[in-house]
């Protein structure tokens, strides 16, 4: 089964895997050096190729030639290193789905269109500074997060066992720092009650739990009857639900080891628990 959707073309083989290709600047059709498990994965590769061509057409190299460079043990492209950072970097715990989705969003929106097609040993402090200055200062939080992610990816290349480059080119002082715009004002007791009163009845307890018990949204949404002990007045937190756009909710562990805990229920909201659990 073959299909075209904007830039490039997709074809599903007999094995069930997808092949992606596109017409390059040389007028020839070039295919990805590997097949993909899903059509979405193949489209991501095509999207990167398109953005790399649009951002810097003079440095475009056909995919097979890039593969030959990799086979010659030259440092990888930033796009390749970024993927390895996300899926292959050893971590105490796997990335949460929401974290991975956020990384990919930042990469595709802010980093890869400009730097993705460059070999990491060709990315200098001046390159990073120029890229950073091109990001909109009107979005300081996004800019700081993009810089912080790039710095982490490049440090991954510096550290053992990779040791692909001698130093991290992300050397702009405070570029990854998010400056708070101002203090967040906490709702008053009267305002909190107004919020509760205006929520649908089935969601009122969730607001009280978040306000008085300190649970995160994903922890609150994943609570079950067995987690609540009205006799002892406690909540056992051992799970959390995460949501990624376009995917089904995923139930997993809380955000950190400290997230597994027993929380006391303030006596004044126990009646709300009893009413909800009737």
Does pTM top 0.75 for this prediction? no
In terms of domains, do 228 and 271 share one?
A: yes
Closest CA to 99 of 152, 55, 52: 152
Last residue of a domain, one of 47, 74, 101: 74
In contact, 136 and 147? CB cutoff 8 Å: no
Per-residue pLDDT reduced to its tens digit, 5-24 = 579 999 999 889 999 999 99
Contact at 8 Å (CB) between 277 and 228?
Answer: yes
Mean pLDDT in residue range 64-78: 79
Looking at the fold, whether 162 and 217 belong to one and the same domain comes out as no
In order of 50, 101, 185, 247, 262, the CA distances from 95 in angstroms are 28, 10, 31, 16, 24
Token duo for residue 106: 């930042």
Same domain membership, residue 155 and residue 92: yes
Please report, for the domain that includes residue 226, its CATH number: 1.10.443.10
Q: Which residues contact 268 (CB under 8 A, 6 or more apart)?
A: none
Element (H, E) at 48: helix 39-55
Which two tokens mark 166?
């001698």
Last residue of a domain, one of 55, 74, 93: 74
Structurally, the chain folds into a number of domains equal to 3
Q: For 143-171, how does the pLDDT look when each residue is reduced to its tens digit (9 = 90+)?
A: 999 999 999 999 999 998 888 999 999 99
- Of 49, 74, 99, the domain-final residue: 74
Say yes or no: 174 and 80 in one domain.
Answer: yes
Query: Each residue of 91-143: pLDDT tens digit?
Result: 887 888 888 889 999 999 999 999 999 999 999 999 999 999 999 888 899 99
43/56 same-domain check: yes
257: left (phi over 0), alpha (psi -120 to 50) or beta: alpha
CATH for 132: 1.10.150.130
Same domain (yes/no): 88, 17:
no
Considering all CA atoms of the chain, what is the largest pairwise distance in Å, rounded to the nearest integer?
74
- Domain limits for position 81: 75-180
Is the pLDDT at 70 greater than 70? The verdict is: no
């Amino acid at each position: 089964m073959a299909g075209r959707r904007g830039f490039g073309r997709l074809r599903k083989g007999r094995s069930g895997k997808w092949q992606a290709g596109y017409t390059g600047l040389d007028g020839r059709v070039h295919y990805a050096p590997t097949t993909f498990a899903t059509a979405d994965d193949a489209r991501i590769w095509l999207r990167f190729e398109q953005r790399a061509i649009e951002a810097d057409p003079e440095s475009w190299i056909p995919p097979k030639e890039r593969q030959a460079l990799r086979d010659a043990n030259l440092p990888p492209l930033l796009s390749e290193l970024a993927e390895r950072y996300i899926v292959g970097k050893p971590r105490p715990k796997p990335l949460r789905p929401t974290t991975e989705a956020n990384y990919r969003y930042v990469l595709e929106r802010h980093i890869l269109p400009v730097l993705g097609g460059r070999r990491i040993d060709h990315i200098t402090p001046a390159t990073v500074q120029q890229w950073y200055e091109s990001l909109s200062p009107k979005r300081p939080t996004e800019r700081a997060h993009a810089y912080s992610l790039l710095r982490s990816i490049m440090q991954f290349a510096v550290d053992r066992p990779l040791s692909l480059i001698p130093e991290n080119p992300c050397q702009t002082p405070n570029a990854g720092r998010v400056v708070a715009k101002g203090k967040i004002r906490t709702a008053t007791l009267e305002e909190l009650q107004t919020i509760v009163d205006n929520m649908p009845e089935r969601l009122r307890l969730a607001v009280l739990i978040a306000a008085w018990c300190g649970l995160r949204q994903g922890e609150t949404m994943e609570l079950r009857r067995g987690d609540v002990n009205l006799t002892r007045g406690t909540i056992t937190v051992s799970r959390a639900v995460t949501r990624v756009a376009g995917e089904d909710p995923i139930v997993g562990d809380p955000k950190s080891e400290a997230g597994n805990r027993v929380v006391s229920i303030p006596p004044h909201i126990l009646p709300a628990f009893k009413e909800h659990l009737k």
